[in-house]
Amino acid sequence: MEVSARGQRVYLKSLEKGDAAEMAKKANSKEIARYIGRPGEFPSPYSETDAIAFIDDAAARLRDKSAFHFGIRLNGGGLIGVCGVHRLDYSSMKGEIGYWLGREHWGKGYAREALTLLLGFCFNGLRLNRVTATAFSFNERSIRLLNALNFVKEGTLRQNTLYGDAFIDDIVFGILADEYGKSTDVRVKIADGSGEKIRDAHSI
């Protein structure tokens, strides 16, 4: 499955076994692990075995439509990160996104482009009404990105996560389908492996 848009420098494509080596290389960063989860939740160091396990799990979740994970890829280049939507609730038309980008690709606008495409997939492909994202209070870079994408800060979960030997706050953000529609003029193309355009979750 592929998600793309004209003019974007990146596109999203479902993860494959062949991505494991490059994924491990890009994910093998203490800084990435620090922002993704509590100590020990995101492997560090990150091995090719870890990548294969994640890719296998992503494939299983794709089959039952419980989550959709994509490799973030440069046009004319290789994989530079991963993003996806999980905790899908089709009855309430909502889900939560997550993402990471290889350290050498930070500060270049790639994450913003990737999340614009991911939100297009969520709202135009899955027909979700609401998408959320959560960031640790110290993750200023991610907070700035979500603000730039017109997410609304919906609350602070005070001392919600035990991080090492200290409790830290989690910041909760949300964006609705009509807010996404007003925030971007990017026309997103969502296609399966044959290139056929996908219009809703039932055809995925």
Q: HSE on the CB side for 149, CA within 13 Å? A: 31
Query: What range does the domain containing 113 cover?
Result: 2-192
Mean pLDDT of the chain: 91
Confidence of residue 104 (pLDDT cuts 50, 70, 90): very high
Residue 96 pLDDT = 98
Separation CA 44–CA 53 (nearest Å): 14
Domain-located, residue 131: yes
Domain-located, residue 82: yes
Tracing tokens 């001392």 back to the chain, one arrives at 159
Separation CA 33–CA 139 (nearest Å): 12
The tokens of 181 are what?
Answer: 């529609």
Domain-located, residue 200: no
Domain-located, residue 198: no
Residue 7 pLDDT = 79
Asked whether the predicted pLDDT for residue 193 surpasses 70, the reply is no
At residue 55's C-alpha, the angle toward residues 53 and 60, to 5°, is 95
**Most confident by average pLDDT, 24-28, 190-194, 200-204:** 24-28
Residue 192 pLDDT = 74
Asked whether the predicted pLDDT for residue 90 surpasses 60, the reply is yes
Domain-located, residue 201: no
Quick check: 90 and 201 in contact, CB under 8 A?
Answer: yes
Separation CA 94–CA 63 (nearest Å): 19
Into how many domains does the chain fold?
1
Domain-located, residue 54: yes
Backbone Cα Rg of the chain: 16
- Where residue 124 sits, what CATH number does that domain have? 3.40.630.30
Domain-located, residue 18: yes
Asked whether the predicted pLDDT for residue 202 surpasses 60, the reply is no
The tokens of 200 are what?
Answer: 């809703």
pLDDT digits (tens, 9 = 90+) for 36-79: 988 888 999 999 999 999 999 999 999 999 999 999 999 988 99
> What DSSP letter does each residue of 126-168 carry, written as one string?
S--SEEEEEEETT-HHHHHHHHHTT-EEEEEEEEEEEETTEEE
pLDDT digits (tens, 9 = 90+) for 108-167: 999 999 999 999 999 999 999 999 999 999 999 999 999 999 999 999 999 999 998 999
Residue 203 pLDDT = 39
First to last CA, the chain: 9
Separation CA 53–CA 89 (nearest Å): 24
pLDDT digits (tens, 9 = 90+) for 9-24: 999 999 999 999 999 9
Residue 38 pLDDT = 87
